[in-house]
Amino acid sequence: MKIAISGASGLIGRRLLKVLGKAGHALHVLSRHAGTNLPPGVRLSVWDPAKGEPPAEALRDADAVVHLAGENVAQRWTAESKRRILESRVAGTRSLVEALRKLPRRPAALICASAVGYYGSRGDEVLTEASAPGTGFLPDVCMAWEREAQTAETLGMRVARIRIGVALDRRGGALARMLPPFHAGVGGRLGDGRQWMSWIHLEDLAELFRFAVENPVGGPVNAVAPEPLTNAGFTRELARALHRPAIFPMPKLALRLLFGEMSEVLLASQRALPQAAQAAGFLFRFSQLGPALADLL
């Protein structure tokens, strides 16, 4: 298949390029930077989602589009950064769909990233793709983001909205930020540690995107491992994997001082399950955190 991918220079995108390339797909990357380092044989077109529609030649003859591009959420939230986070997803996805609308032959599928932040903070409630959205900044962003992606359905395209949990890889993302304090023996739970963490090994996440490209998967899909843990449980598993103590909890007030409003993301409780992925036949290689950390570390 011919697949166009936006946001391929990020943590998820880089792994996905390897997975799709290994599966024999022809890849065309949409990137803001002309000098993006890509695997051999991967084509590149420059696209800044903030400046309009992607070039038609990048989408022409594509069988599927994977849309990952968006401003990084893991930064201190100011009025300006929140505006960028929202607009990069909403305006970028809208521009992409408009470009798809103009094609004489459209791709069969749009696989669009979203996040379990869609659900907000829900305590111990078990969350499936049928659960209602939450309230707050991130749920609002995810709802607006997904609405723009869904408009591609009016073009006769299959649309899958991949609600990504905490993607684990030692070279980037949340796990990479956790490792230094845990290696130093000063790691610990965040807040009271009762909040649920819906995590996924980066390999499983990339394979799930490939599965959504190659199979008739549509609608919302929770990209999370089948066995979420509380933050306290996650902390214990990580400390065990590193053979380090985890006795220095970070209070909510300290998190607020360090990260501002974004601390809400770290303390949010999302006990999400991958009901749609499993019903479609996707098999997770890493269902439990212990083996996932053993593989990553």
User: What digits encode the pLDDT tens for the residues 58-68?
Assistant: 999 999 999 99
Q: Which residues contact 207 (CB under 8 A, 6 or more apart)?
A: 19, 282, 285
Model confidence, pTM: 0.95
HSE toward the beta carbon, residue 16, CA cutoff 13 A: 29
Q: Which residues contact 38 (CB under 8 A, 6 or more apart)?
A: 8, 17, 29, 44
Average pLDDT over residues 47-55: 92
CA distances from 193 to 125, 256, 260 (A): 16, 15, 19
pLDDT tens readout for residues 234-270: 999 999 999 998 888 888 888 888 788 888 888 999 9
Three-class secondary structure of residue 215 per DSSP: coil
As a whole number of angstroms, the distance between CA 50 and CA 84 comes to: 9
Find where tokens 């909510």 sit. Answer: 252
The answer to whether the CB of 187 falls within 8 A of the CB of 239 is yes
Question: And the tokens for 30?
Answer: 């949409």
pLDDT tens readout for residues 90-112: 999 999 999 999 999 999 999 99
Q: Is 194 exposed, middle or buried (0-12, 13-18, 19+ CB in 10 A)?
A: middle
CA distances from 146 to 5, 94, 111, 140 (A): 17, 10, 11, 10
pLDDT at position 157 is 98
- Looking at domain 2-166+198-224+271-283, its CATH class is alpha beta
pLDDT at position 163 is 98
pLDDT at position 219 is 98
pLDDT at position 260 is 86
What is the widest separation between alpha-carbon atoms in the chain? 60
pLDDT at position 165 is 97
Identify the DSSP state of 190: B
**53 — pLDDT class (breaks 50, 70, 90):** very high
In sequence order, which ranges of the chain are alpha helices (DSSP H)?
11-22, 56-59, 79-101, 137-150, 173-183, 202-214, 231-242, 252-259, 263-267, 275-279, 289-296
Higher-pLDDT residue of 262, 140 = 140
Q: Which of 294, 280, 140, 281 is nearest to 220 (CA)?
A: 280
Alpha carbon of residue 20 to chain centroid: 17
Average pLDDT over residues 3-10: 94
pLDDT at position 38 is 86
User: What is the pairing mode between strands 196-197 and 229-230?
Assistant: antiparallel
The answer to whether the CB of 34 falls within 8 A of the CB of 11 is no
Average pLDDT over residues 1-24: 95
pLDDT at position 136 is 94
As a whole number of angstroms, the distance between CA 265 and CA 283 comes to: 28
Sorted by where each begins, the domain ranges of the chain are 2-166+198-224+271-283
Instruction: Count CB atoms within 10 A of the CB of residue 39.
Output: 13
pLDDT tens readout for residues 179-212: 999 988 889 999 999 999 999 999 999 999 999 9
Mean pLDDT of the chain: 94
As a whole number of angstroms, the distance between CA 17 and CA 8 comes to: 7
